[in-house]
């Protein structure tokens, strides 16, 4: 019996080993892979990467020198319909002077039909090119005949005339990764800095070997006679291999600004190049060298010095304005009202500041570098700040590719004031939410730089006054006044812009327990420096419960928070609220005649350590009137994962207190 079990185990190990060996070669899809109904370690997975192998290497070309070539081959298992999107693959490339090319090949869908493997190859009509911007495009494929249970595989090659860019490699994605391998191969003349991020890390192996190439050169001699010479060049080549086994899916959590910031990945930044008998050419060894390089780009630093296109207009606008804050605001409003953002990010100008001012549209750099030039002309001390947007990820390491945005920082006696003229609702120190991404880097004319904290320090308030009556049948009628400042005001104005007032009110009524809203009014909608105010009357028949002659009501009504957004037992990522905030509710409730209070929530105070935040709940009874004061305040835009347990318990207690009901009984 034991021998039989042992033989079974050995057979199983051999069988699994055989499957594993097949996984690492295109065209060798197994029946076992096609029969698998769910991922063995994540039953919720809609798909999984069975293997993903990439090689980026610097190859020598007789005409262009060393050029970067990247080869990738991938096999993906589709478990559920939710995984069909993985049949659509895309690879971006530069379509400018780098002249990159992407070629897909060996793209096949495999299905199990009547116990046999059926292959469907990708045809040319499933391959597309799409322009993304002035500098980038992407190659896209749509795999054919994809079903639940399918296995797809493909190969692509990226060829580039560039010799300095190794693409970032992700070992994690939104689905499990069974095996991922990435190799980088480069000659000794290039020095790259590898940088890892994430919470799980691949294994690393490094080897070196001797390499030789034959360099052909043509020499023009006497009487224009040409001579072809061949020279063998010997050098040392480095190969680094990263391997990852069974990396879990990277799953979204509440209040994560960009999940890609925490994805297990590797990037290689070119530090410098050192060819024999030539001076060392530095690229990016630290932040100062990175920003100095950026500042010297034709579409950055020189654009700040261009004049002769705005002075006449600006002189008229600033006439009689001598206060610094007023001049700053006047210039910001002038740019916002005259030039529109075209939706394109970038720290380098596309059109240039002069053309942008004339045509009244441009990208982020066109607009904000123009803003900086105008502010400097007015006599203010102002410098550009490089930013990585939330969608671009956090700028962890010195790299020219770390940034994709630029704003202005005005130096004042009270610190820096940050400005962005691309958003119609932005104000001084209230940037668009896309730009609130931890740290930016200020650049000065002399090439020096410093970190700038982008996260707001002042709490954005949301103050609500509610006054309502309850009748003996449990029907409620009352009035609400809501006042929002800073980022809450910006978000409100953006929401108002998206919907017509009738649509907005319909949404408000439906999201508030099907109330009926009347006498609706907005104040300060256009005055961006003032808090925006909404007032309205409301009534509802389903805002409380009447059971056995008793009335049960949540005092906060439709402002009650019922669900704790922090449910995970353990959290690896910081909690990013975006900005500090203060939610305050002042509630007055009139008890119906013939009723008295049976149960009343008790006052409570919850304070988190390190001044992270606090919750205060207080209730006062005066005859048939209840007065409630409720304050929920978070003082830090970003709360570290080491404080997560405290934050989760805080929200648990706060929500429990918010959802306690007042019980009224008949006298």
At residue 177 the predicted structure's pLDDT band, cuts being 50, 70 and 90, is very high
pLDDT score of 10 more than 90 = no
Give the domain 288-453 fold.
Answer: C8orf32 fold (3.10.620)
Tokens representing residue 553 in the block:
């009501």
- Residue 416's pLDDT is 97
Higher-scoring residue by pLDDT: 275, 24? 275
Residue 190 neighbours by CB under 8 Å, 6+ apart: 58, 66, 163, 164, 270, 273
In angstroms, the CA 205 to CA 243 distance is 9
Q: What is the DSSP letter of 414?
A: T
Helical segments of 413-478, H only: none
Please state, in angstroms and as integers, the Cα–Cα distance from residue 37 to each residue in 31, 148, 150, 184, following that order.
12, 9, 10, 35
CA–CA gap between residue 275 and residue 215 (Å, rounded): 14
| pLDDT over 90 percentage in the chain | 79
- The answer to whether the CB of 593 falls within 8 A of the CB of 472 is yes
Across 434-440, average pLDDT: 94
Question: Residue 505 has what pLDDT?
Answer: 96
pLDDT tens digit string along 89-101? 999 998 876 778 9
CATH number for the region 42-282 comes to 2.60.40.3140
* Residue 371 Cα to chain centre, angstroms: 26
* Mean pLDDT, rounded, for 2-10: 36
Provide the CATH number for the domain formed by 460-666 in this structure.
2.60.120.1130
Confidence of residue 221 (pLDDT cuts 50, 70, 90): low
| Residues paired with 539 in a beta bridge | 477, 516
DSSP 9-49: HHHHHHHHHHHHHHHTSTT---HHHHH--SBTTBTT-SEEE
Alpha carbon distances (Å) from 346 to 216, 401, 473: 40, 10, 60
pLDDT at 12: 37
Measuring CA to CA, which residue among 645, 563, 573 is closest to residue 609? 645
Q: In what order do the strands lie in the sheet with 581-590?
A: 516-523, 532-540, 476-484, 460-470, 581-590, 625-634, 613-622, 604-607
The pLDDT, as a whole number, for residue 521 is 98
Residue 289 has pLDDT above 90, yes or no: no
Mean pLDDT within 264-280: 90
Q: How far apart are the first and last CA of the chain?
A: 79
The pLDDT of residue 223 is 59
| CA pair distance 177, 263, nearest whole angstrom | 12
Asked whether the CA dihedral 132, 138, 141, 147 is positive or negative, the reply is negative
Say whether pLDDT at 251 is over 60. Answer: yes
What is the structure's pLDDT at 232? 87
User: Is residue 4's pLDDT more than 50?
Assistant: no
Q: 478 to each of 16, 474, 535, 557, how far by Cα in Å?
A: 68, 13, 11, 11
The total of other beta-carbon atoms located within 10 Å of residue 596's CB is 10
Write the pLDDT tens digit of every residue in 515-540: 999 999 999 999 999 999 999 999 99
Residue ranges per domain, the chain? 1-32, 42-282, 288-453, 460-666
Stretch among 437-441, 446-450, 539-543 having the lowest mean pLDDT: 446-450
* Cα–Cα separations (whole angstroms), residue 327 to 320, 332, 377, 389, 410: 10, 9, 11, 28, 12
The structure tokens listed for 109 are: 């869908």
Q: In the numeric block, which tokens belong to residue 338? A: 């005259």
Residues 140-154 as b or e (16 or more Cβ within 10 Å = b): bbebbbbeebbbbbb
- The four Cα atoms 383, 385, 386, 387 give a dihedral, to 10 degrees, of -160
CA distance 494 to 335: 19
Q: Give the Cα separation of 574 and 643 in Å (integer).
A: 9
Per residue in 451-486, pLDDT (tens digit) is: 999 999 999 999 999 999 999 999 999 999 999 999
Average pLDDT over residues 226-253: 90
Report the distance separating Cα 248 and Cα 48, nearest Å.
10
Cα–chain center distance at 363? 19
Strand-pair partners of 88 = 142
Q: Give the mean model confidence (pLDDT) for residues 632-657.
A: 96
Query: Does residue 316 register a pLDDT over 80?
Result: yes
Both tokens of residue 341? 């953002």
Tell me how far apart the alpha carbons of residues 296 and 282 are, in angstroms, rounded to a whole number.
14
CA separation for the pair 454, 257 (Å, rounded): 14
Cα separation, 539 vs 475, whole angstroms? 8
Mean pLDDT on 251-275: 89
Q: Note the pLDDT tens digit of each residue in 483-498.
A: 999 999 999 999 999 9
Give the start-end residues of each E strand in 221-337. Answer: 226-247, 265-273, 281-282
Q: What is the pLDDT of residues 140-166, one digit of tens each?
A: 999 999 999 999 999 999 998 877 789
Identify the helix (H) or strand (E) that includes residue 605. Answer: strand 604-607
Q: What is the pLDDT of residues 31-69, one digit of tens each?
A: 999 999 999 999 999 999 999 999 999 999 888 889 999
Among 127-131, 176-180, 477-481, 605-609, the range scoring the smallest mean pLDDT is: 127-131
Return the residue matching tokens 């000659």: 187
pLDDT, tens digit, 9 for 90 and up, residues 112-130: 999 999 999 999 999 999 9
Residue 384's nearest CA partner among 320, 273, 297, 472 is 297
What integer pLDDT is reported at residue 301 of this predicted model?
94
């Amino acid at each position: 019996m034991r021998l039989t079990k042992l033989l079974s185990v050995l057979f199983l190990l051999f069988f699994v080993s055989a499957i594993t060996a097949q996984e690492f070669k295109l065209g060798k899809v197994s029946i076992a892979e096609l029969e698998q109904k769910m991922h063995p370690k994540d039953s919720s997975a809609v798909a999984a990467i069975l293997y993903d192998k990439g090689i980026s290497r610097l190859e020598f070309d007789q005409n262009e020198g060393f050029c970067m070539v990247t080869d990738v081959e991938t096999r993906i298992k589709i478990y559920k319909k939710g995984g069909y999107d993985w049949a659509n693959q895309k690879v971006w490339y530069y379509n400018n002077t780098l002249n990159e090319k992407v070629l897909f090949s060996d793209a096949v869908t495999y299905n199990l039909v009547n116990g046999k493997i059926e292959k469907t190859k990708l045809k040319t009509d499933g391959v597309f090119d799409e322009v993304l911007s002035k500098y980038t495009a992407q190659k896209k494929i749509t795999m054919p005949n994809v079903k639940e249970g399918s296995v797809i595989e493909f190969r692509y090659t990226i060829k580039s005339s560039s010799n300095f860019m190794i693409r970032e490699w992700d070992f994690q994605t939104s689905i499990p990764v069974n095996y991922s391998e990435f190799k980088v191969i480069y000659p000794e003349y290039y020095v790259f800095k590898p940088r890892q991020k994430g919470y799980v890390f691949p294994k690393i192996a490094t080897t070196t070997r001797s390499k030789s190439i034959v360099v052909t050169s043509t020499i023009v001699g006497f009487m224009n006679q040409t001579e072809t010479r061949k020279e063998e060049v010997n050098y040392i080549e480095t190969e680094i291999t990263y391997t990852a086994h069974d990396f879990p899916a990277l799953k979204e959590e509440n209040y994560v600004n960009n999940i890609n910031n925490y994805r297990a990945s590797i990037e290689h930044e070119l530090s410098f190049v050192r060819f024999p008998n030539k001076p060392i050419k530095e690229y990016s060894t630290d932040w100062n060298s990175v920003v100095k390089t950026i500042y010297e780009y034709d579409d950055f630093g020189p654009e700040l010095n261009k004049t002769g296109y705005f002075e006449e207009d600006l002189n008229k606008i600033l006439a009689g304005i001598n206060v610094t804050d007023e001049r700053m605001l006047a210039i910001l409003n002038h740019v916002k009202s005259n030039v529109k953002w075209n939706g394109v990010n970038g720290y380098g100008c596309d059109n240039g500041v002069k053309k942008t001012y004339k045509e009244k549209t441009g990208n982020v750099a066109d607009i904000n570098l123009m803003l900086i030039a105008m502010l400097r002309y007015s006599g203010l001390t102002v410098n550009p700040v490089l930013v990585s947007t939330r969608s671009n990820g956090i700028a962890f390491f010195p790299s020219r590719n770390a940034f994709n945005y630029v704003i202005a920082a005005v130096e004042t006696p009270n610190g820096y004031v940050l400005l962005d003229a691309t958003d119609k609702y932005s104000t001084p120190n209230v940037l668009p939410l896309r730009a609130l991404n931890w740290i930016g880097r200020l650049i000065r004319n002399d090439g020096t730089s410093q970190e700038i904290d982008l996260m707001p320090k002042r709490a954005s308030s949301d103050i609500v006054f509610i006054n309502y009556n309850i009748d003996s049948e449990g029907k409620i009628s009352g009035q609400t006044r809501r006042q929002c400042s800073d980022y809450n005001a910006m978000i409100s104005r953006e929401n108002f812009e998206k919907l017509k007032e009738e649509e907005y009110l319909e949404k408000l009524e439906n999201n508030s327990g099907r109330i009926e809203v009347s006498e609706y009014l907005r104040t300060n909608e256009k005055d961006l420096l003032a808090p925006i105010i909404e007032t309205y009357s409301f009534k509802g028949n389903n805002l409380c419960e009447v059971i056995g002659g008793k009335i049960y009501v949540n005092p906060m009504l439709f402002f009650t928070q019922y669900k704790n957004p922090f449910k995970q037992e353990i959290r690896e990522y910081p909690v990013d609220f975006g900005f500090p905030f203060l939610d305050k509710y002042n509630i007055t409730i009139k008890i119906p005649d013939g009723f008295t209070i049976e149960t009343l929530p008790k006052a409570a105070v919850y304070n988190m350590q390190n001044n992270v935040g606090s919750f205060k709940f207080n209730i006062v009874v005066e005859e048939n009137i209840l007065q409630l004061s409720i304050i929920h305040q978070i003082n830090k835009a970003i709360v570290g994962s080491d404080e997560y347990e405290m934050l989760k318990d805080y929200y648990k207690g706060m929500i429990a207190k918010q959802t306690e009901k007042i019980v009224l009984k008949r006298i």
